[in-house]
């Protein structure tokens, strides 16, 4: 199954991405509104790069999967940043590109998969954000109650695609590119 191939092939990059985004800090007592805003900004920059490229893909297979299983979430991040009176990042120097539909499918796998952890982050943020001056949880709150069911349907459809081994390799490359983009954006923010 292609989803198992993607999961195994990108395990290291997945872990490095979580580390780069410092995702564990969300569950620490010291996590505050400013740290939350910084994570949202990093996510906004990465999603802007990746989602804009996904929107350029127009093959019927891809558009069917994305229409059925993925809602672009850049506007949710923008709403959260706006509601928290934060500026929207605009000056990323990170580049992201996709060469074919299969790389786009791999990148989509990463974005869709990122919603799985968002369910737990949302629950935690709901508990702690009442101590903040402002709060906005549109990004993490989106579909948090049905994320597992939606992931199951997405992976079933992905696994049902008749893929060659080369097409699967291209999907892994696309997933790796997406993970690397999150890492590079995070590094860019830490150097700013």
Mean pLDDT by 10 residues, the chain (192 residues): 97 95 88 95 97 94 91 95 95 94 97 91 91 93 91 96 97 98 95 78
Alpha-carbon distance values, 74 to 71, 107, 178 (Å): 9, 15, 15
Alpha helix (H) residue ranges in the chain: 2-9, 11-20, 33-56, 60-69, 74-83, 101-128, 138-141, 147-159, 165-191
Whether the CB-CB separation of 185 and 45 falls below 8 Å is answered with yes
**135: which residues sit within 8 A by CB, 6+ positions away?**
33, 84, 125, 129
Residue with tokens 């989602």: 51
User: Hey, where are the domains in the chain?
Assistant: 2-16+31-86+107-191
What span, in angstroms and rounded, lies between the C-alpha atoms of 116 and 66? 17
Q: How far is CA 175 from the centre of its chain?
A: 11
3-state secondary structure of 135: coil
Q: Could you report the per-residue pLDDT of 161-180, keeping only the tens digit for each?
A: 999 999 999 999 999 999 99
Q: Could you report the per-residue pLDDT of 106-141, keeping only the tens digit for each?
A: 999 999 999 998 889 999 999 999 889 999 999 999
* CATH code reported for the domain at 2-16+31-86+107-191: 1.20.910.10
């Amino acid at each position: 199954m292609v989803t198992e191939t993607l999961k195994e092939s990108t395990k290291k990059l997945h872990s490095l991405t979580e580390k780069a985004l410092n995702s564990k800090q969300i569950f620490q007592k010291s996590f505050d509104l400013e740290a939350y805003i910084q994570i949202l900004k990093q996510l906004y920059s990465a999603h802007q790069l990746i989602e804009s490229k996904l929107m350029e893909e127009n093959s019927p297979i891809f558009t069917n999967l994305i229409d059925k299983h993925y809602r672009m979430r850049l506007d949710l991040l923008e709403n959260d940043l706006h509601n928290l009176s934060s500026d929207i990042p605009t000056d990323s120097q990170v580049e992201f590109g996709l060469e074919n539909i299969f790389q786009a499918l791999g990148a989509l796998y990463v974005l869709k998969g990122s919603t799985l952890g968002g369910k737990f982050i949302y629950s935690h943020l709901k508990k702690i954000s009442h101590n903040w001056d402002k709060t906005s949880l549109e990004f993490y709150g989106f579909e948090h109650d049905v994320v597992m069911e939606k992931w199951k349907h997405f992976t079933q459809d992905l696994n049902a695609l008749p893929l060659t081994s080369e097409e699967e390799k291209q999907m892994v490359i696309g997933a790796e590119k997406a993970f690397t983009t999150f890492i590079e954006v995070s590094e860019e923010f830490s150097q700013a």
